[in-house]
Amino acid sequence: MKGLFLVEPVVALFAFSSFLIYPLVQQYVYRRLWQELTNTTYPIFDNTSRCATNNSSNHSSYHKEVQRQASLFSLYTELFSTIPSLVVTFMLVAYSDRGGRKITIIMPLIGTLIYTLAFLTVSYFELSIYLLIGSSLLSSLFGGLGTFLGGCFAYIADLCEDDRQKTLRMAGLDMMIGLLTGVAAISTGYFLRAAGFNWPFLTSALFQCFILLYAIFILEETVKKPPADAVILDESPRCSALKQMTTGVYRMFIGVSPRCRTVLVLLMLIFTSFSFSYVGGITLMTLYELNEPLCWTEILIGYGSALSTTVFLVSFAGVSAFTYCGVPQLLIVLMGILSVAAGMVLAAFAKTTLLMFIVRVPMLLSIMPFPVLRSMMSKIISKSEQGALFACLSFLESLTNNVSSAVFNSIYAATVAWYPGFVFLLSAGLCAIPLFVVGVVGVIGVDVPKEVKKPEDPVDDQNDNSPLIS
C-alpha cells in the first residue's frame, strides 16, 4: 500500500481531538475544586450567567478561592511537565534530520493518548485530580505540542521548494488548527451538558487512536536518506545520532554569515517574546470567563472558543492576501503583534458577555506572525538543518509557553482578588518587546539570503534567493 505525503489530516484531527477536551480540562478541575472547597455541588443553570442568581458575599468569596486554587493547579501541572517535554522536543526534532520526521509526530500522539486516557480514568472513577499532574508528567516524556508541530512544520519544509509555497502551506497548517479547534469547541459545551465529562474524553481517545494508525501506516516519510549537504559521521549509531543533533544546531548558526546569524537570532527573539505574551494571556481566558462578573456556562465557553476560530481563518486569509500583494513580511508580523495587544487591552476591561465576545474582533490577525516568522527563518537555513531549526523553534516555543503559562497563572492567582484583568494588561504591555525587535530587524534591512550564497560560505541552498523582508 502506497503512503501519502499529507500531514494536514494528522494536524486537523489532532487539533479536533485535543480541543474536544482542552476546554473541559479547566472546567473539570474547576468543578472538582468547587466541590472540595465548598462541600456543595457545582451550580449549573440554563441562563447566560450563574452570577445573576448568586450575589451573596459567600458565593463571591468561593469564586475567588476556587479561581486561585485552579490557577495554582495549572501552575503545578506546567512546572512538572516542562523540563521533560523540552528535552524530548529538542532531541526528537533535531534527530529528525537523520532519523525521519515521523518519529516527531508519532511520539507526541502516544503521549497525548496516555494523557487523555488518564483523564478519562480520573473522571470515570472520580479519583484525585492531583493524579492528573502525574499523567501530565508521563505524557511529557513523549514530547508535547511543540514536538508535534515542530515535526509537522519540518515535514512541510521538506516538501516545499518555493518560499511562497512554504509560507502559505505553513499558514495553512495554522488555519487547519484553528478551523478544527473551533468545530470541536462549539460542540464541547453541548456534549458536556448532554453526556457529562466521560464521553468527550472517550471520543477524543478514539480519534487519537485513528490518527496514530494513520501516522504509522499511511503517512510517508520525507527523510529517506541524509541530505546532500549533511555531515555524515562514521561512528556508533547512538553516538552518531547525538553528534548529528549537536552538529546540525551548530552549523545552523556557524555555517552562515554574521549578518544572517544576527537576523536569525533577532527573528527567534521576536518569535519567543511574542509567543510569551500571547500564550500567557490566552491560557487564562477560560478561567476569566468562569469568574465573576461573567460566570459563563459551558455553552458560552464553547461559543467563545469557537469564535476564536475566526482568528485562525482571518489570519490565514491575511497571510495569503498580504503575501500575494507583496506586503513586506515584517509588516505582516507587526500587524499581528498590534492585533494581540489591542485584544488583550479590551479583554482586561470586559465585564459583560457581549464585550467578551467582541474581544475576538481586534485579535483577528493575531496568528499571522507565527507562520511568517517560521518561513523567514526557514529560508535562511539550508535543507540539511531544517530539522535543527525547527527543533530550536519547538524547544523555544515549548519553553516559552510553559514558562509563560506558569508565570501568568501565578500572577493571576495573586491578583484575581483585586483585579482579574491585570494579566491581560501585562500581556499587552509585553508586546512592546517583539515590536521593538521588529524595528531593529527593519533597520538592519539586510538581503540575508543573498549573503548565504557567498562562495566561501559552506551552507548553500538554491532556494534562498529572495529578500528576507520582502
User: Per-domain residue ranges for the chain?
Assistant: 8-40+60-221+230-452
Residue 49 pLDDT: 55
Residue 336 pLDDT: 97
pLDDT at 451 over 50: no
Query: In which band, very low, low, confident or very high, does the pLDDT at 240 lie, cut at 50, 70 and 90?
Result: low
Residue 453 pLDDT: 43
pLDDT at 93 over 60: yes
Residue 74 pLDDT: 87
CATH of domain 8-40+60-221+230-452: 1.20.1250.20
Handedness of CA 455, 460, 462, 465 (dihedral sign): negative
Q: In whole angstroms, how far apart are CA 51 and each of 67, 79, 283, 418?
A: 15, 32, 22, 18
Mean pLDDT score across all residues of the chain: 84
* Per-residue DSSP letter, 219: B
Overall average pLDDT of the 165-184 stretch: 86
Beta bridge partners of 4: 219
Residue 122 pLDDT: 96
Residue 407 pLDDT: 93
Residue 466 pLDDT: 41
Dist. CA 306–CA 187, nearest whole Å: 9
Rounded to 5 degrees, what angle do the CA atoms 149, 388, 98 make?
A: 95
Residue type, 49: S
Query: In which band, very low, low, confident or very high, does the pLDDT at 55 lie, cut at 50, 70 and 90?
Result: low
Query: In which band, very low, low, confident or very high, does the pLDDT at 426 lie, cut at 50, 70 and 90?
Result: very high
Helices 369-378 and 163-195 pack at an angle, to 10 degrees, of: 140
pLDDT at 2 over 70: no
Dist. CA 40–CA 51, nearest whole Å: 16
Overall average pLDDT of the 313-328 stretch: 91
Closest CA to 422 of 430, 307, 24: 430
Overall average pLDDT of the 410-435 stretch: 95
Q: Is 357 exposed, middle or buried (0-12, 13-18, 19+ CB in 10 A)?
A: middle
Residue 464 pLDDT: 39
247 compared with 202, residue with greater pLDDT: 202
Query: In which band, very low, low, confident or very high, does the pLDDT at 278 lie, cut at 50, 70 and 90?
Result: very high
Residue burial 189-205, b: 16+ Cβ < 10 Å; e: rest: bebbeeeebeebbbbbb
